[in-house]
Structure 1
Amino acid sequence: MTGFHSYAPADGHRLAHDPFNAIVAPRPIGWIASLSAEGKRNLAPYSFFNAFNYRPPIVGFASTGAKDTLANVRATGEFVWNLATRPQAEAMNATSAMTDADEFALAGIDTLPSTLVAPPRVAGSPVQFECRMTQIVRLTDQHGGDIDTWLVLGEVVQVHIDPALLEDGVYRTERARPILRGGGAGDYFELGERFDMRRPGQR
């Protein structure tokens, strides 16, 4: 293939919109619940979120700027990830507003108590991970200069799954209808058709 649109990010992409977010996509959404040291509730979605380890299970999200969630996790060492699904898309989006208000109340979101951590769970979410912070890493560029972004990692210490998503002991991803972040100002996706492919030698 020839004729690529090539560019060095430091020099600009020369496109109508930076394609990076759209290329590294779709991404699961980190819908993170946390509490301040004083017990104030916070709920916010993060588009840079993923799993980083299997045993023990570790998930993480990136906070661009020192936002409330970062401050809360740094102060308390705890957070809850809530699976954002298509029926909850509008409520999830409402919690992205930059406000000092309680996002749970702002978006009309009911809560459930967590088992091992203090932050509450989103009642309508079919899966929640209770997490304890393991690391907060400030990112740097290739020259070692600080970037205004922090990677927050946490070990999953308790998992809650709606039994409707389980079939013969297997979690069926598509049943949850997770929403995934694309690029652009407001691009989201649902899952498409599933296909099966095993690794060489795997039964």
Structure 2
Amino acid sequence: MHVVPGLKVLYFGTPVVLISSRNENGTANLAPMSSAWWLGQHCVLGLGGSGQTTANLLRERECVLNLPSSGMVEAVDRIAMTTGRRDVPERKAAQGYRYVADKFALAGLTEQASDMVSPPRVAECPIQMECRVLAHHPVEGPSVRAAAIHVEVLRTHVEESLVIPGTHHVDPLGWDPLIMKFCEFFGGGENVHPSRLAEGWKMPHLDAAPS
């Protein structure tokens, strides 16, 4: 039997992406997100309309999409409730977001120079995609002010051990991406770490869900 629960969010399960971009003063910003999907060498990113990352992408027109493995969940969670915007939007502040100037340092991650774009890669991420922004589409409604940003992947870096020898393909058995489902972290089908984001968004605790 199906029901109509009036779902608050539709995050059914997508890979976490750490987007690195350049701030106006030249420093690096790093933001976790999971509303991303790919077609060929293109990707569409769903981002909040008032965030620092969105502003950086629209101004600089480039970024790096870094894909963390499930083993990097603690680093990702450390920056989940942070923003690179000094004047934290009122709605975000009410949820518990705070301004952090150096999110690489807070996460314990390392900047790695990119080949084709200005923003750095995340050295610890097994997959890194250097991108340029092609288009921006506002997404607005009664309860949302967001942006769909279309980027082209210029170069993809992959940890050598994840490449099937003699091919141009990633080993799907070796690659264990960090997945976000309804604001919770998963890897290999298991919940891998408590989520600050789930707390900020007041999601039900996992132990309250029916088994």
TM-based fold match above 0.5: yes
Range with bigger deviation, 124-133 or 32-41: 32-41
Gaps of 5+ in 1: 8-12, 193-203
Gaps of 5+ in 2: 83-98, 190-211
Poorly superposed stretches of 4+, deviation over 4 Å: none
| Equivalent residue number for residue 60 of structure 2 | 76
| Equivalent residue number for residue 47 of structure 1 | 34
Deviations 1:155-191 (A, max 9, x none): 00011011100123131123131111101xx422223
Distance 2:100 2:135 in 1: 26
Distance 1:100 1:162 in 2: 29
Query: 1:146: Cα distance to partner?
Result: 9.5
Deviations 1:86-133 (A, max 9, x none): 121110111223223210011121121000000000011111000000
Distance 1:135 1:95 in 2: 27
User: Is structure 2 residue 174 aligned with structure 1 residue 187?
Assistant: no
Query: 1:68: Cα distance to partner?
Result: 0.4
**Correspondences of 1:57-76 after superposition (within 5 Å):** 57-76=41-60
Aligned length: 171
SS of 2:29's partner is strand
SS of 1:37's partner is coil
User: Is structure 2 residue 105 aligned with structure 1 residue 108?
Assistant: no
User: Is structure 2 residue 10 aligned with structure 1 residue 26?
Assistant: no
C-alpha spacing 1:60/1:19, structure 2 compared with 1 (3 Å): closer
Query: 1:19: Cα distance to partner?
Result: 5.7
User: Greater Rg, structure 1 or structure 2?
Assistant: 1
C-alpha spacing 1:100/1:114, structure 2 compared with 1 (3 Å): same
Q: Is the 8 A contact 1:36 1:75 kept in 2?
A: no
Query: 1:6: Cα distance to partner?
Result: 2.3
Q: Is the 8 A contact 1:32 1:45 kept in 2?
A: yes
Amino acid in the other structure paired with 2:65 = W
**Correspondences of 1:1-203 after superposition (within 5 Å):** 3-6=1-4, 13=6, 18=8, 20-21=10-11, 25-51=12-38, 53-54=39-40, 57-98=41-82, 99-141=99-141, 147-168=144-165, 169=167, 170-183=169-182, 186-191=183-188
- What's the % identity of the aligned pairs? 26
Distance 2:74 2:13 in 1: 18
Query: How does the TM-score come out when normalised to structure 1?
Result: 0.77
